[in-house]
Amino acid sequence: AQKVTQAQTEISVVEKEDVTLDCVYETRDTTYYLFWYKQPPSGELVFLIRRNSFDEQNEISGRYSWNFQKSTSSFNFTITASQVVDSAVYFCALSGSGTTSGTYKYIFGTGTRLKVLA
Amino acid sequence: EPEVTQTPSHQVTQMGQEVILRCVPISNHLYFYWYRQILGQKVEFLVSFYNNEISEKSEIFDDQFSVERPDGSNFTLKIRSTKLEDSAMYFCASRVGLANTNEQYFGPGTRLTVT
């Protein structure tokens, strides 16, 4: 079975602090994909990053960085120098063949609500 | 840039009524999905659709739900007789079909409120 765990329900930080959002996944697939999405109060899902299971390189995009470690089945997301506009719910998701139909559906975690205080 | 669109953005309906949520996937995409997000909860898979048939559905997707691709562009989710617990945000998504990308493109969602 596939599963995504985001143990942090809510995190509050003061602006300019760094914050790391944790994501732990379970899958038996050898090929799978991991994603992070941002959901602002308006409700849409904003794509942040995709990683496939063969690419363990960490990635940095501006103030955002991602740490993918297969050994610990984790795909953590760090925001450096957080800003009020980063306040949102962040979802980690997993997609793999997982099923006989090969639909590559997404399995989402429960999300982490990030509040950045001015 | 191509995007997935959904209409309406917000639908209010009375319990027991039928609703149809509409989605226009990206034109060259082959796989289509519906997800549901009850307020304050995680996003959950409902159904996937490929080659004009359902390829997988979740336990949530019972006989009250149906999907259809009535023409070459629209992809619809029908709830036959809505219940209060169907109140949620419904997201449509599509993907090209190439396994090495696997990325689904999500629409902005339809917020369904059942009263």
For A38-66, write each residue's pLDDT tens digit.
Answer: 999 999 999 999 998 988 888 889 999 99
Q: Which residues contact A8 (CB under 8 A, 6 or more apart)?
A: A21, A22, A112
B103 and A50 in contact by Cβ < 8 A? yes
Average pLDDT, chain A: 93
Return the residue of B nearest to A41 by Cα.
B40
The alpha carbon of A81 is separated from its chain's Cα centroid by a whole number of angstroms, namely: 18
The pLDDT of B57-68, averaged and rounded, is: 96
Does the N-terminal peptide bond of residue B108 adopt cis geometry, omega within 30 degrees of 0? Answer: no
Chain B contacts of A109, Cβ < 8 Å? 42
Q: What pLDDT does residue A18 have?
A: 98
Interface subset of A 6-45, CB within 8 angstroms of B:
31, 33, 35, 37, 43-45
Local confidence band at A99 (pLDDT 50, 70, 90 cut-offs): low
Q: Considering chain A, what percentage of its residues have pLDDT values greater than 90?
A: 79
Distances in Å between the Cα of A46 and the Cα atoms of A26, A93, B19, B48 are: 23, 12, 26, 21
The pLDDT of B20-30, averaged and rounded, is 94
